[in-house]
Structure 1
Amino acid sequence: MSTHTCAEPQVLGLQDRLWTAVTDRDEHAAAAVVLAALDDGIGAESALMDVIAPVQARVGLEWAANRLSVAQEHAASAIAERVIAALAHHPSVRTAPRLGRVTVACVDQEWHVLPARLLAEVLTLRGWQVDFLGAQVPTPHLIGHLHNNGADVVALSSSIPTRLPAAHAAITACQAVGVPVLAGGAAFGPDGRHALRLGADAWEPDARSAARRIADGIPVPVPAAGKQQTDDLPHLGDQEYTLVVRSRPQLVREVLAQLESRFPAAAAYTDQQREHTAQDIAHIVDHLGVALYMDDDELFTGFLVWTAGILDARRVPAASLKPVLDVLGTELKDFPRSTRLLDRAGLVLDALLATTGSRPRSLG
């Protein structure tokens, strides 16, 4: 296998050609770009991390900016996965396993599989025996796999912060059977603070650094008998997280019901507009829930700032988020931590609106 890493101009040229192929939804052209690069001597790891990964990151940014539709983003992601599979089966990149065994999996309910797939391929290229379990792996199934096959390390991937409670359960369960956990993915924060808060044995920001950390060795955890969620997160004892999550359907209905009085135009929403609005409200409640779980204001305020940018790109003023926060604040007035989070989010949103001058409009 070649270890050559191409120079920056060559990388940028490959990225541009791959971008054109994936946005044209041309799987064969996309595969041809990468496979030809392998034939020309680019290292397989460089093809993965310097060509495919940046193009996929660009796909996400272009979707957020409303320059790619959801369907286009999904098509591009599907093509990327198939190109990685083609690369993995190219004769020049076959690597016999000579190191230990690593299980790579996405946490339960996490469908963003590409970061985990990139790590699995990098580890394979470096000589590890990898069990890649793919997207949305329920924790009991993950533990069953470990019992049946063993592993030196479990690498858990999560991209969406609302999956952090599921990640916590998986981390605790893996450690209970004596397997260390390396966490990775955007859900754990840019500095990995959420991974460490949830008790992960290690965190790394990308596949290359994760592979190095695994090679350096991660100590086997000492199982803690009867460990509970509140051992890592004692604030969960107030039950706010549980009560808010259980109330999600009622909260969404109440916000929708009150929107009409706050926005008269809401009475004329189409069914599709109401459905989109309900989905947006549900996402807000979900992120409020995970912020309660982690007791981290930034998880909620950061999501609202991101959402404001998404709405703005779609010509929906961010001020449309204000009534949602107001209604939730009224409904959750007896919950101290929820009140703190909503008040803080309101201040952040007010500051944002002061710089944009946007006026209220529907979320849908």
Structure 2
Amino acid sequence: MPGARAGGVPPERTEETGPWVEKLWSAAASGDEYAALDTVRSALASGLDTETVLLDVIGAVQHRVGVEWAANRMSVADEHAATAINDRAIASLPPHRIPDRANGRVTVACVDGEWHALPARLLAEVLRLRGWHVDYLGAQVPSPHLITHLHRTGADVVALSGSLPTRLPTAHAAITACQAVGASVIVGGAAFGPGGRYAGRLGVQGWAPDARSAADLLSAGLAAPGAAHQVTDDLPHLSDQEYTLVKRSARQLVRHTFSALAERFPAMAAYDEEQRERTAEDLAHIVDFLCAALYVDDVGLFTGFLAWTADILTARGVPAASLLPSIDLLEEQLRDFPRTRDLLAHGHRALTEKIAADGTGQGKPV
């Protein structure tokens, strides 16, 4: 269940799938739904099986959509249009066979707050192809509604997809609730870190890097969930309350940092409304990822986000060094929190080293 943008590992190209990937990419990138559907039908007619078309053609194109957006070669509107075309291509595939009751019932859903649903849908379609009874709930499923669904259907397994690490606390709560009603949980997507490094910390029964691996894992069988537990049983470092306190003050941190930037950098007075909104949004993202890193106690989550953001800004003509003043201001406000201060110091150092290595210059604050 790779992330809907550039997350996850791209499917490997072969001589069989490569030409179809290029044709579907051309259609999706140009917004030509008719050409896209014709490409999918032709790929099936050429002898490719449905799972291969789903994962190694449509999935490969969706991964490229994310890469092109990150490199600023595709607008948000174009990305959405291409994703919608890929979703329509999935819907055009032949009907699936009747579920095999011996396989069991799986609920596939996105973590609450997660809008990138296509990876989860790819998994749902693959599981149906393999004979599972699948309930696909789509994007942004609130945990209480997910649990109500499990009570009603008695699903054996829940497969949760997420692309944003900022949703990890919400995902953890959902995982714990699903296990409490007797369902095993498998997760996937960029939210759970490289190699699924955060999945294990959240106490799941399985993690998979992509839909094919997830289907194989389910076929092999998952362990039943253990006794009911609290989130601090999985993450004992949360007992220091730093995550809770910083999370509760997130809005205040963003407001104060924004105001301090305006005072420290008079050039902000010339920002138009859109620039000011983007600056506030970027500050909110920094604080959100800081909180997520506190939650799983992982420096790499925060430094990885800063490196990714630096690349995104550079691709859009904004110097990566513009992130540094915001980190400094946050550190000044959070000096009484040891783990938080340590994360910010690591982030500042990692970003400074990246800027030096990339040769990016100073610029306006983010």
Same fold (TM over 0.5): yes
Distance 2:364 2:43 in 1: 47
1:190 is displaced (CA, Å) by: 2.0
> Residue 158 of structure 2: SS of its match in structure 1?
strand
Q: Aligned-pair distance for 1:363? A: 5.2
The alignment yields a C-alpha RMSD, in angstroms, of 1.4
SS at match of 2:17: helix
Match in the other structure for 1:303: 305
Stretch of structure 1 that moved more, 240-249 or 59-68: 240-249
The residue identity in structure 2 corresponding to 1:96 is: I
**How far apart, in 2, do the equivalents of 1:337 and 1:129 lie?**
44
CA drift of 1:247 comes to 1.2
1:335 equivalent in alignment to 2:341: no
TM-score in terms of structure 2 length: 0.94
Aligned runs of 1:9-158 on 2, under 5 Å?
9-87=15-93, 90=94, 93-98=95-100, 99-158=103-162
For 1:257-312, what per-residue CA distance to the aligned partner results, in whole angstroms no more than 9, with x for missing partners? Answer: 11133322111111110001100110000000000111100010000000000001
Unmatched 5+ residue regions in structure 2?
1-11
Choose from 227, 241, 246 the match for 1:223: 227
**Contact kept? 2:108, 2:160, Cα under 8 Å:** yes
- Is the 1:297–1:344 contact (alpha carbons within 8 Å) kept by the matching residues of 2? yes
Aligned with 2:305: secondary structure? helix
* 8 A Cα contact 1:280 1:363, kept in partner: no
> Does 2:152 align with 1:162?
no
Q: Secondary structure at the match of 2:159?
A: strand
1:348 alignment counterpart: 350
Shift of 1:357: 3.4
Q: Letter of the 1:179 partner, please give it.
A: A
The 1-side partners of 2:129 and 2:364 are apart by: 49
In 2, Cα distance between the equivalents of 1:194 and 1:253? 30
Q: What amino acid is the match of 2:87?
A: E
Correspondence for 2:204: 200
Give the TM-score normalised by the residue count of structure 1. Answer: 0.94
CA displacement at 1:108 relative to structure 2: 0.7
Match of 1:284 in 2: 286
Q: Is the 8 A contact 1:252 1:278 kept in 2?
A: yes
Letter in 2 for 1:196: G
Q: Count matched residues.
A: 353
Q: What is the distance in 1 between the residues matched to 2:189 and 2:164?
A: 8
Contact 1:178–1:223 (8 Å) recurs in 2: no
The separation in 1 between residues aligned to 2:195 and 2:86, in whole angstroms, is 26
Please state whether the residue corresponding to 2:134 is helix, strand or coil.
strand
Among 252, 258, 261, which residue is 1:259 paired with?
Answer: 261
Q: Is the 8 A contact 2:257 2:326 kept in 1?
A: yes
Q: Give the conservation status (yes or no) of the 8 Å contact 1:277–1:362.
A: no
Write out per-residue CA displacement over residues 131-154 of structure 1, whole angstroms, 9 at most, x where no aligned residue. Answer: 001111111111111110011211
Aligned pair in 2 of structure 1 residues 273, 167: CA closer, same or farther (>3 Å)? same
Higher relative contact order (CA 8 A, sep 6+): 2
2:119–2:161: 8 Å Cα contact kept in structure 1? Answer: yes
Task: Tell me the CA shift for residue 201 of structure 1.
Answer: 0.7
Q: Which runs of 5+ in 1 are unaligned?
A: 1-5
Determine if contact 1:304/1:349 at 8 Å carries over to the other structure.
yes
Name the CA shift for 1:355/1:307 in 2 (closer, same or farther; >3 Å): same
Q: Which amino acid aligns with 1:333?
A: R
Q: CA–CA distance in 1 between the matches of 2:154 and 2:27?
A: 40
Secondary structure of 2:363 counterpart:
coil
